[in-house]
Chain A
Amino acid sequence: MTGRRATIAAIGCLLCVSTSGVARQPQRVEPGSGVHPTLVMGLQSFTRTSLGGLGTAMSFDFFGARDRETLFVWSGSREFPSLCAVGSGNKPQEGALVTWRADARVVSLDASGATFDIRWSRTVNDASDVDGSSIDRTYHVRLAERADQTLDVLRTRQGSEDCDGVAVTLQFKYEENQSLANSLLEYDVWLIDRDRAGHETIDHLTPRGLQGQQMEYAFRRIAYGRDGLAADNGPLGLEVRGRVTGRARPDGRIDIVVNAGRTFWLGSLGNGDGGSRQATVEDSETIELELPGPAGSVRSDGHDLDLAALLRGQRTAIRVATRRVS
């Protein structure tokens, strides 16, 4: 191979690698302007009879040009030397039994969550009644919107009726643009299922929700026979359900996030998969999300039923039209 050919081949390989790398990345859309990305760090105590005791929370507001924040939560003080006496602020508390510090930096934002670099530490100042030691961690994490993630759990040594330990949590959310916070969105959600013979089953729902509110949808179960064709009383059931979330943007378009879950049922045994896609659409625009072909198997009469082979040629898609009502 000549030097020129080798160079071309090397560039070609690099392009292949970079292209495939891009193709493997989920498609995400930037959130519309006006929303405030917020990371909430919470500290919650729990007892042996209740998982929700005293709690405190502090928010990282990445508004404007700020892309990093440092926050503290702590347990105990000189006056209340208990792990369950919790507090929070933007400075550490002197005399605390344990202090958690988190430095968070926004890496990317999208319509359904955000990715952060988080360095956090737990500093145990008084270990006499704490079942743990100081630690330091660095995370590169993606947080889905409004999904609580547990960062740390720390228990007392002895435990008591009033205090057994504390949990540190993180939650990412968008504080809505004030002028759009009360927007009402209506979704037309269709399921279009077609078997390999071309028989179509269509189901339709119209959930409505406020700006950023997750709206659940569930289509009626579609029955398939053992020949892989849609049949009213077939033993194989296809169930599709999920959530749709929309957020009106100042430019009139709408960010939507569609979560879809699919389960094939055979009796009480099921095989499920699912995913999430996001898109920015025009008002009333209809988009279609095509589910991948069935994969895996379900157990039937002691042997596995290969879904891909049985349902070859079958197609399932979800269509969504989003409209701003007010």
Chain B
Amino acid sequence: MMTEDQFPVLSALIDREPLDPDALALALEQPEGRQILVDFIRLREFMAAELEQAETVTLPALSPKRAGASRLWRLAAVVLLPLMVGLGGGYWWREREQRRPPTPTRVIQFVPGVDWK
């Protein structure tokens, strides 16, 4: 009968790790042991295929969330940049206008010889 203690020897076989041949022989004598070994091999094939696909596909295609975030940033930049430029320009204009004196209601001229000497 296959016990849980016999699974690690099958796993070590798949992973090409050192193992006890007697324990392996015992595990393979059991139908469940052989079935587990087959399942292990199928799982390894499946993982190998997945890894191969991951190496041939570009990052954006793999990251739809990232693509969405990028579009959001671009949109924010398009909206916020003019807004920030406008605010900065407005601030500069306001500062400039505050430095300028108000328009006078009248202009009085000093007259040489009369009130200017």
A interface, CB within 8 angstroms of B: 24-27, 188, 190, 192, 202, 204, 260, 273-277, 279, 285-292, 295, 317, 319, 321
Whether A290 lies near B116 (C-beta < 8 A) is no
Interface size class of B (residues with CB under 8 A): 10 to 19
Contact A290 B109 (CB under 8 A): yes
CB <8 Å contact, B108 and A290: yes
Chain A residue at smallest Cβ distance from B108 = A289
Which residues of chain A come closer than 8 Å to B99, judged between CB atoms? 202, 204
When the two chains form their complex, are residues B115 and A192 in contact, meaning their CB atoms are under 8 A apart?
Answer: no
Which residues of B lie under 8 Å from residue A287 when comparing CB positions? 104-108
Residues of chain B contacted by A295 (CB below 8 angstroms): 112
Q: Which residues on the A side are within 8 Å of B102 (C-beta)?
A: 286, 319, 321
| Set of chain A residues within 8 Å of B106, measured between Cβ atoms | 287-288
Identify which of B105, B110, B113, B114 contacts A290 (C-beta below 8 A). B110
From A188, A202, A277, B115 is in contact (CB under 8 Å) with A277
B60 at the interface (CB under 8 A from A): no
Closest 6 CB pairs of A and B: A275-B116, A288-B104, A190-B101, A26-B115, A319-B101, A288-B107
Q: How far is the CB of B104 from chain A (nearest CB, A)?
A: 4
Q: A273, B116: Cβ atoms under 8 Å?
A: yes
B79 within 8 A of A: no
Most buried by A among B99, B103, B105, B117: B105
Give bound CA distance, A202 to B108, whole Å. 19
With A202-B99, A202-B101, A288-B108 as given contacts, are A274 and B114 in contact (CB-CB < 8 Å)?
no
Q: Confirm or deny: B49 has a beta carbon within 8 angstroms of a beta carbon on chain A.
A: no
User: Contact: A188 with B101, CB < 8 Å?
Assistant: yes
Report the bound CA distance from A26 to B108 in whole Å: 12
* Chain A residues, CB < 8 A from B100: 202
Cβ contacts under 8 Å, A204 to chain B? 99, 101
15 CB contacts below 8 A, A to B, read A24-B114, A190-B101, A192-B101, A202-B101, A204-B101, A275-B115, A276-B115, A279-B108, A287-B108, A288-B108, A289-B108, A290-B107, A290-B109, A291-B110, A321-B102
Identify 4 new A-B residue pairs, CB closer than 8 A, beyond the known A279-B108, A286-B101, A317-B107.
A24-B113, A275-B110, A286-B102, A288-B108
